[in-house]
Amino acid sequence: MNAPITYVATGDSFITSPLNLCGNDKFEKIKDLIYKSEVRFTNLEVTVHDFEGYPSAFSGGTWAIANPNVLKDIKYLGFNLLNIANNHTLDYSHNGLEATEKYLKDFDFVYAGAGSNMAAASDPKYLNCSSGRVGFVAATSTFHESWIAGEQRRDMIGRPGVNGLRHESTHIISKDKMRSLKEIATITDINAMNNLNLKEGFDVGNTSDVFKFGIYKFKEGNNEGLITKPDSRDMERILRSVYEAKRQADEVIVSIHSHEMKGEDKSVPADFLRDFAKECIDHGASSVIGHGPHILRGIEIYKNCPIFYSLGNFIFQTDLVSNLPSDFYEKYGLTHENNTADALDARSKNGTVGLGKNPYVWESVIASWKSVNKKTEEILLYPITLGYDSPRYKRGLPELSDDRSILRRLAKLSEPFGTNIEIEGNVGKIKI
């Protein structure tokens, strides 16, 4: 029997400013908790460089950048395993990704999820611990379509980018509604470009039972609603990486960044994400760590392996970016005379809307567990708060909390997955 491998995981580390760690008691307590485990994971939700890349025409919402010195704080807190595949990976284009990788290597982090081509982005990475070797595969389902890494060919170099998990969305509607939809398409010419692309060979078309309305796919059926499935090409590629890592390590972690939700509830993961997570475990993963929506989602135990659909935020300094490109200012009707604080005020309508007004964004958990022979025995959940009521220049920093309501809410979110979270003192426990 192998020795147990111990894990600790957090959600998004959107760090854009030094944390002032020296002598800070709340950080020391978190550091002590993190260092109790050998495998210490967080999702790095920013690019780290000294403006060494051009701002992309698209961003993940904020052009996320931090001075490379913030990696000292991530290192000090104990993290040794990072996902860099998310909706901010190419906020500063390919040069920003290249620079970020350079600094991550300088600080000797094990990271995965993005790289100079698809092979580099999708390859498993490995963390050697005293109790065993852990394989690591990282991906994101939330990204601009141009950000996915490109495959190398013998006659063409690949393209830098993320290990992307695309998904297929099909809207199911009744026969009568389909008839009306086709009539609307004819009247509005919404499919004119689609039809021309088919004729000229720029599109391969749809299956016979699917009707394309602009960029959306519809199908007749009795159970109306939305069906989402992982893209088979991306799914197969990621599973190959998981299966490779399974044969090269004692255990395998999969990290997935996903904002996509079911319906309009951010706390409920999209169906394709659940399918993806279970397939990863079927192919050898011992845990799947999700993050992305900036709030907690439920926890599912599948074949004695945990699936954390979202661990929420760990560090969230989205309002402390030092500079923003003109695209951000133009979006909110601002000019060159305006500054970063003006832009952030415009986005939040002076602090009255946005993520800053959602208290659940500023509450989360740190998850800790141990695994023996690829089977998890018990999961411990430590609640944290990030300063919801603080000014935006102070909030976003984690602090261990005795607020049991965070655990009760996570327990409620986990019930639909058949997971029972017991609360003992200020700690949530999942016994397997």
Largest alpha-carbon pair distance within the chain? 68
Supply 340's token pair: 């970063």
Q: Please state, in angstroms and rounded to a whole number, the distance separating the CA atoms of residues 229 and 360.
A: 28
Q: Please state, in angstroms and rounded to a whole number, the distance separating the CA atoms of residues 249 and 275.
A: 24
Mean pLDDT, the chain, whole residue set: 95
Q: What was the pLDDT predicted at 198? A: 81
Within 8 A by CB and 6+ apart from 174, the residues are 220, 221, 222, 224
Q: What was the pLDDT predicted at 209? A: 87
Mean pLDDT of 305-328: 97
Place of tokens 């935006």: 392
Q: What are phi and psi of 256, to 5 degrees?
A: -135, 125
Q: What was the pLDDT predicted at 45? A: 97
DSSP 359: G
Domains of the chain (ranges; CATH) run: 5-153+251-323+354-431 (3.60.21.10), 175-220 (no CATH)
Q: Please state, in angstroms and rounded to a whole number, the distance separating the CA atoms of residues 140 and 374.
A: 24
Within 8 A by CB and 6+ apart from 334, the residues are 342, 343, 346
Q: What DSSP element (H or E) covers 180?
A: helix 175-188
pLDDT at 204 over 90: no
DSSP 396: S
Q: What was the pLDDT predicted at 194? A: 82
Mean pLDDT of 168-189: 96
pTM for the structure as a whole: 0.95
68 near 74, Cβ under 8 Å? no
Q: What was the pLDDT predicted at 258? A: 98
380 near 427, Cβ under 8 Å? yes
Q: What was the pLDDT predicted at 337? A: 96
Supply 75's token pair: 């290192």
Share of the chain above pLDDT 70, in %: 99
Q: What was the pLDDT predicted at 205? A: 66
Q: pLDDT tens-digit profile of 261-315?
A: 999 999 999 999 999 999 999 999 999 999 999 999 999 999 999 999 999 999 9
Q: Please state, in angstroms and rounded to a whole number, the distance separating the CA atoms of residues 82 and 67.
A: 17
138 near 44, Cβ under 8 Å? no
Q: What was the pLDDT predicted at 197? A: 83
Supply 358's token pair: 């959602």
Q: pLDDT tens-digit profile of 100-150?
A: 999 999 999 999 999 999 999 999 999 999 999 999 999 999 999 999 999
pLDDT band (50, 70, 90) for residue 206: low
Q: Please state, in angstroms and rounded to a whole number, the distance separating the CA atoms of residues 288 and 399.
A: 24
DSSP 17: S
Could you tell me the end-to-end alpha-carbon distance of the chain, in angstroms, rounded to an integer? 18
- List, in sequence order, every residue forming a beta bridge with 169; answer none if it has no partner: 228
Number of CB atoms found within 10 A of residue 219's CB: 15
SS3 content of the chain, % helix, strand, coil (to 5): 30, 30, 40
Q: What are phi and psi of 91, to 5 degrees?
A: -60, -30
429 near 311, Cβ under 8 Å? no
Q: pLDDT tens-digit profile of 70-97?
A: 999 999 999 999 999 999 999 999 999 9
pLDDT at 22 over 70: no
Closest C-alpha to 296, from 367, 351, 393, 200: 367
Helix axes 232-248, 271-282, angle to 10 degrees: 30
Q: Please state, in angstroms and rounded to a whole number, the distance separating the CA atoms of residues 150 and 263.
A: 31
Q: What are phi and psi of 379, to 5 degrees?
A: -115, 130
pLDDT band (50, 70, 90) for residue 375: confident
Q: Give CA torsion, residues 277, 280, 281, 283, to 10 deg.
A: 160
Q: Please state, in angstroms and rounded to a whole number, the distance separating the CA atoms of residues 25 and 41.
A: 21
Q: pLDDT tens-digit profile of 383-424?
A: 999 999 999 999 999 999 999 999 999 999 999 999 999 999
Mean pLDDT of 249-254: 97
56 near 90, Cβ under 8 Å? yes
